[in-house]
Amino acid sequence: MYSRQMNSTPPIQIDLNGSVPVNRQIVDQLRTLLVDGALQPGNALPSVRRLAIDLGVHFNTVADAYRTLANEGWLEISHGRGVRVVDRPTEPANADTYHVFQQRLRQLIAEARAQGISVSTVAQELLFLAEGLKS
């Protein structure tokens, strides 16, 4: 009656009071799981309805998040078969992508430094996380 995937795939967690919009939180967490390999090509994800009911958020919030990841090439959304993880070839980043990434990272590091996290800790964490993510 209950799928084995329930125990093996980590759950998604959102903070309704957080400063980051909920659809962005969903996208960020799913992307992390996809890059980390916790979600593999072929894995089925909950439908828009299912995830929206489980999280208690609007259907459009989940649909937006899934669409974003589908546009990035991570997911395939079909009416009959639901939502599936697909094999996504990693292409070298272009200049624009690199620039956006650099801006976001810069803001994040500034926030960390403002909160008293040392340069060496930031550098160590970045290296640890970058190497930890599989693809």
Q: Which residues bind another protein (CB under 8 A)?
A: 1-3, 5-6, 9-18, 30, 33, 39, 44-47, 49-59, 82-83
Q: CA 109, CA 126: separation in Å to the nearest integer?
A: 10
Query: Can you spell out the DSSP letters for 31-94?
Result: HHHHHHTSS-TT-EE--HHHHHHHHT--HHHHHHHHHHHHHTTSEEEETTTEEEE---PPPPP-
- What's the min distance (Å) between Cβ of 24 and another protein? 15
Q: Which is nearer to another protein, 79 or 128 (CB)?
A: 79
Q: Which is nearer to another protein, 50 or 104 (CB)?
A: 50
- What's the min distance (Å) between Cβ of 57 and another protein? 8
